[in-house]
Amino acid sequence: MTRGRAVRAAPTAVACTALLLGACSPDLTPAAPRNAEQPTIQSSGGGRPEETLHEVRRIGTSLRGRPIRAYRLGGQRAAVRAVVLGSIHGDERAGVAVARALKDGKPVPGFTLWVLPTINPDGLARGTRTNARGVDLNRNWRHDWAPLASPYYSGTRPFSEPESRAFRDFLARVRPRFVVSFHQPFASVGLAGERPGFTARLSQELDLRRKRLICTGVCHGTMTDWYNSRFAGTAVTVEFGAHPSRRYLRGQAAPGTLRAILGSARVTGRATLAGG
Ligand SMILES: [Zn+2]
């Protein structure tokens, strides 16, 4: 049980209130403080340190040196853990907006939510499906891996890419019961046979049809298949449409994803998603 008030990490950008006085320039973006990726401090009114409810963890680095970050909401020792991945393909940005809305929400008691806006920051920066080496990071996993050509180039071998290795190691450590991986543009929730209730809740909350996602001949080495074949938890692919509105993503998809997870985990109580 945590009683204290969560103190968020210091902002990485500082309002330049002295701009008119010439004391600072709008072109200067202050570097992130050294402790920006350390766990934030849980204030407990001067008592002993308690478990933190917020953490920013750098789980790896992209080929071009960009950080891959995971944001934790909720205590680390919660009974139910879930991971939401905003994007693995850099040209599919809808899930990033959902992930950002979720990471800015409040922790839910008894529940750990890890949010990763992207594991492909190079692709996101360039607007490409693949990482900086042209590898489709959702074809680079060791489950049923096969050599595939562009645009699904699967790399030279399973886990050839630092981004997929970083997420693999993260998932193996966290072992979430639920993983939601956002994509576009097929407007559907992929069927995950083990937990039909979870996909049904996602389908209802996100207003997306459940569908067996068929990608003829190129569904090799995917993250969700890898996770589902090795762990007790369930990883689900959620495809938004081509152009979902920001209002839908932040106002419906973000809280709806959380409700679907909580409903399936049978976490009860006064769970609410602030913000969003
Ligand atoms: Zn995708």
Residue 172 CA from chain centroid, whole number: 15
Residue 151 CA from chain centroid, whole number: 23
Distance CA 155, CA 135 (A): 5
Ligand 1: centre distance to CA 185 (Å):
8
Each of the 276 residues of the chain gets a pLDDT tens digit; together they read 333 333 333 333 322 222 222 232 322 223 333 333 433 333 333 444 567 889 999 999 999 999 999 999 999 888 899 999 999 999 999 999 999 999 999 999 889 999 999 999 999 999 999 999 999 999 999 999 999 999 999 999 999 999 999 999 999 999 999 999 999 999 999 986 567 889 999 999 999 999 887 666 678 999 999 999 999 999 999 999 999 999 999 999 999 999 999 999 874 333 434 332
Distance CA 257, CA 99 (A): 10
Ligand 1: centre distance to CA 272 (Å):
29
**Phi, psi at 211, each rounded to 5°:** -155, 145
Q: Are 119 and 137 a contacting pair, CB within 8 Å? A: yes
pTM for the whole structure: 0.79
Distance CA 158, CA 20 (A): 54
Ligand 1: centre distance to CA 134 (Å):
14
Ligand 1: centre distance to CA 181 (Å):
9
Ligand 1: centre distance to CA 120 (Å):
11
Ligand 1: centre distance to CA 91 (Å):
8
Ligand 1: centre distance to CA 90 (Å):
8
Ligand 1: centre distance to CA 116 (Å):
15
Ligand 1: centre distance to CA 92 (Å):
6
CATH of domain 58-265: 3.40.630.10
Collapse the DSSP code of 216 into the 3-class scheme (helix H, G, I; strand E, B; otherwise coil) and give the result.
Answer: coil
Ligand 1: centre distance to CA 136 (Å):
9
Tokens of 120: 């492909």
Compute the residue count for the chain. Answer: 276
Ligand 1: centre distance to CA 56 (Å):
25
Distance CA 6, CA 42 (A): 5
Ligand 1: centre distance to CA 74 (Å):
28
Rounded to 5°, the CA angle 271-95-136 comes to 135
Ligand 1: centre distance to CA 88 (Å):
6
